[in-house]
A and B are shown apart, each in its own frame.
Chain A
Amino acid sequence: MTKIVVIGNGMVGYKFCEKLVAKNSNRDFEITVFGEEPWPAYDRVHLSAYFSGSTADDLIMAPRSWYAENQIDLHTNEMIVKIDRDQKKVISHTGHDYDYDKLILATGSGAFVPPIRGVDKKGVFVYRTLEDLDAIIDYAKNAKRAAVIGGGLLGLEAAKAVIDMGLEAHVIEFAPRLMPRQLDEAGSNTLQSKLEDLGISIHLQKNTQNITGNGRINGLKFTDDTELPVDMLIISAGIKPRDELAKDCGLDTALRGGIIVNEFLQTKDENIFAIGEAASYQNMIYGLVAPGYEMATQVVNQLANAEVKPFMGFDMSTKLKLIGVDVGSFGDPFGEVEPFKPIVYENKNSGIYKRINVSLDGKRLLGGILVGDASAYNMLWQMTQNKMPLPPEPEDLILGARGGKEAVGAGVESLPEEAQICSCENVTKGSISNLIKNDGVTKVDEIKSCTKAGTGCGGCMPMVNDLLKHQLKAMGKTVKNVICEHFDYSRQELLDLVKVKKIKTYNELLDQFGQGDGCETCKPAVASILASTWNELITHQDTIQDTNDRYLANIQKGGTYSVVPRIPGGEITPEKLIVIGEVAKKYGLYTKITGGQRIDMFGARVDQLPDIWEELINAGFESGHAYGKSLRTIKSCVGSTWCRYGVQDSVSFAIQVEERYRGLRSPHKLKGAVSGCIRECAEAQSKDFGIIATEKGWNLYICGNGGSKPQHAQLLINDVDTETCLKFIDRFLMFYIRTAEPLTRTATWLNKLEGGLDYVRDVVVNDSLGIGEELEKEMEFMINTYACEWKEVVNTPHLRAKFKHFVNADEEDPSLKFQEMRGQKIPASWG
């Protein structure tokens, strides 16, 4: 058995273990790992998530039990202080020594602290480990203003953390621009104004001379004699490889730091490898995880006698995350490697700057910079990496094709086989395609578990999905929209079956038309079909509902629920407002005005839900169905009753519409809005159906969407009276409910519908299929059979009894934990 000792249990050290374990089925290796930190390896890349609620546990790459299960001897809190190469031993600070056959140095790096006078004062921190963050959070409690030294990737992340802690944030950068290694001046300017909008002050070309204060920092003094008073400082000016152990035992280290390795990650001692941020290859250290993972893989392959490719350096393209501003920089962003032609698009108004560098012959993309909108990052980066041919007018890449066409789709199909799809796990397009072609893989989850693609940062998942679809199609597999392994039918087919065969329960449908025992995909889909067809109370088949529908409330972090009573049109009397306030106070709920013009009360325990609703219902409220794939809200603007411009009474109409369709179950949620005039204060054109008042009546728009892919609603018909407007909405909604796939919003439905808007208009307005009346009838049935689900639960003892945490104890869930924020409770955080 070969004894492997790994020094450093960081991201790369962990990845090394994970990869080696996969090759250790014969128990060829005995693995011992040392980490000086108290935790097992955690996700440093997402360290900043700690400020927005993640806990140390959330960030852990694998629990201790994983190491135990895989026979890895993990020593945390234990630092190796010496390597004895002659005896092949390492010695830890506890005085113990451990033998090795092969030694892996994965010691990572520490923060680089520039030699500024006063860095030892209280209130000066670095930003690297969980312990650093704990100290920062603790100190920030008594601070108001904080500065970050370093305007690079990490510094900006730290600045965001400062803001998240509620402090005034300043970024100090020595260079004349932000992210000097990734951005040019124009890109930096755009980013700067975006950051300033977020409340971060940027100080460029500032060289910090000393840190002032008596024992405790109270400000910074710069070489230009200016000063900046601050209560705390985070230094994030770069990294310094932890090469001291290696140096001590006579291994070579690079001038700028880092343990020197060859293309096989070997140090000059054939039994010692260095990987991750600690390694220096061709005078370069790689401060990113992806190259570190690549190194780990190479070393594992060597140890396991698998095929070894030399490490050839790594692309350093990056995307800034977390800060709320899109920034990407890829390939050769400055055009330093070969002559090029830049193409630049800048929109100061919306804060977008894009630049691509095209080779002189116009055939290849060399690199580029994206600020404000980095949605094209993945594709552009792929084009650069794979030297893919450019479209005839390369500017289309950053401007989108003009003339109403789709943006030029360098889709996954155009990528070469060797294109790297997942950079964290180095998975190529070819290996995914082969899996689909040769191993009969048809699901994304299978691709994830076979290749690990998408399990790191997850940024490649859209591409993996596209690739799967594309590959299946190329193989002539009609990607039939069957719901899941339990039903070989589409939603529409199931809906027809339910109707024709008068099926009322999930089990009946499964017995007659399905196989197996169902799953979390088909159960809610069928539940929705049954509800849209028979409109029976969903509480009767509660275990086929998604958790929100099962408990008639939205589940929140920690396992409590939120309560949203219906407030039609957003109109509410002071009396009812008081009731909401009182209920929230009584049950200690966090309250917030939602984006849907109503009030959400968060943090109710499952056993409290019926009591809370009882009080609300007694005060005249009813369920707001915030939990259902059903009608949510109809937003309104104040309209002609008060507004000097209003031409119709939008509030009254919104209330009428909301009460008409309340509780209506559909393939996805439905939202509407009514604006009182063309100024559109209710944002009706972003809704599934939006109504805008005109002098003569109403304009009806359909299939708008907010969300991650916003889309404007399109005009179905103009200047109709109230009755006609409702008639068309009835028909439109019923037609959608009948024909859409599960979890498809109206916008997506329309986009996929052959014939598009014209076809919908034909069906709904011109009644080309002759089903208009039938659709209206169906809707009428829904409206007439509506009942508030919560009312039923509150009044039915056996339904009420389902709302408890333990069935064998009258206790609350002891694992619920809360903390406080601005005077209200919030759940103890996760990731």
Chain B
Amino acid sequence: MISELEKYRTADSSKVTNWYKAATVDSFPEDGGACIKYKDLQIAIFNFSRRNEWYACQNLCPHKMQMILSRGMIGSYEGDPKVACPFHKKTFSLKSGKNLNGDTCDIATYPIKVEDGFVYVGFED
């Protein structure tokens, strides 16, 4: 499972080589998330419609290694967007991936863009 965690590496938007066409915009609930599959990765995508922003991060919560973050509630912490894991409410910054309320390790985040009604996630491979 540790190796599971290591599959997820934050992708840098300047190094994206592959913009993966994930799904249509309306596959993602407003102010909420859903999960997509990319190769053997599970990526949580959040439609932060209140802020008119989109975020992508690993679906795996590092706290107890649960594939779940896409079902978490999103919100903000001092202005910064975050997601709360449904299991034990560990919260992670959707921008930096940092755990905001403890010392669980960080999560990987991915660049994301919306074009012509489709959501694309950027990967470095």
Contacts and interface: CB of A to CB of B under 8 A. Distances in A.
Contacts of A806: 35-37, 42
A485 B34 CA distance: 26
A558 B22 CA distance: 24
B105 A520 contact: no
Contacts of B105: 62-63, 65-66
B2 A64 contact: yes
Given A518-B75, A802-B29, A58 B101 contact: no
B103 A558 contact: no
Contacts of B64: 58, 557, 830-831
A323 interface: no
Contact of B67 (A542, A559, A808): A559
Interface in A505-522: 507, 516-520, 522
B56 interface: no
A486 B102 CA distance: 20
A60 B27 CA distance: 36
Contacts of A375: none
A414 interface: no
A808 B51 contact: no
A805 interface: yes
Nearest to A519: B75
Contacts of B101: 445, 448-449
Interface stretch (A547-555, A628-636, A640-648): A547-555
Interface residues of B, number: 49
Contacts of B68: 555, 559
Contact of B91 (A62, A63, A520, A815): A520
Nearest to A62: B105
A62 B62 CA distance: 10
A452 B103 CA distance: 9
A519 B76 contact: yes
Given A806-B37, A807-B23, A523 B29 contact: no
Contacts, number: 126
Interface in A290-323: none
Given A57-B65, A520-B84, A809-B37, A63 B102 contact: no
A546 B5 contact: no
A55 B66 CA distance: 13
Interface in B38-53: 42, 48, 50-51
Contacts of A486: 75-76
Nearest to A806: B37
Nearest to B76: A517
A813 interface: yes
Contacts of B72: 520, 547
Interface string A805-831: 111110101010000000000000011
A550 B71 CA distance: 9
Contacts of B22: 807-808
A544 interface: yes
B27 A542 contact: no
B78 A485 contact: yes
Contact of A807 (B31, B35, B73, B91): B35
A558 B27 contact: no
A543 interface: yes
A65 B67 contact: no
A811 B67 CA distance: 14
Sort chain A's interface into a size bin: 35 or more
A741 B66 CA distance: 31
Interface string B1-30: 110111000000000000000110001111
A808 B27 contact: yes
A455 B102 contact: yes
B73 A523 contact: yes
A831 B1 CA distance: 13
B71 A551 contact: yes
Contacts of A813: 42, 67
Contacts of B79: 516
Nearest to B66: A559
A66 B106 CA distance: 10
Contacts of A809: 36-37
Contacts of B81: 517
B89 to A, nearest CB: 6
A520 B32 contact: no
Nearest to B36: A808
A522 B67 CA distance: 24
Contacts of B102: 445, 448-449, 455
Interface in B66-94: 66-68, 71-79, 81-82, 84, 86-87, 89, 91
Contacts of A445: 100-102
Contacts of A60: 2
Contacts of A546: 73, 86
A445 B1 CA distance: 27
Contacts of A519: 73, 75-77, 82, 84, 91
B1 A57 contact: yes
B70 to A, nearest CB: 9
Interface centre among A455, A485, A524, A807 (most CB of B within 10 A): A807
A66 to B, nearest CB: 6
Contacts of B23: 807-808
A815 B37 CA distance: 12
Given A64-B2, A806-B37, A807-B35, A543 B29 contact: yes
Contacts of A557: 64, 66
A57 B2 contact: yes
Nearest to A606: B71
A543 B28 contact: no
Contacts of A808: 22-23, 27, 36-37
A807 B103 contact: no
B75 A65 contact: no
Nearest to A454: B102
Contact of B27 (A485, A550, A807): A807
A516 B78 CA distance: 8
A450 B37 CA distance: 37
A464 B32 CA distance: 33
B96 to A, nearest CB: 13
B32 A64 contact: no
B119 to A, nearest CB: 9
A471 B3 CA distance: 44
Interface in A50-78: 55, 57-58, 60, 62-66
Given A57-B65, A449-B101, 4 more contacts: A517-B74, A551-B71, A559-B67, A815-B4
13 contacts: A60-B2, A64-B2, A65-B105, A66-B105, A445-B101, A516-B76, A516-B78, A516-B79, A518-B50, A519-B77, A520-B73, A809-B37, A831-B64
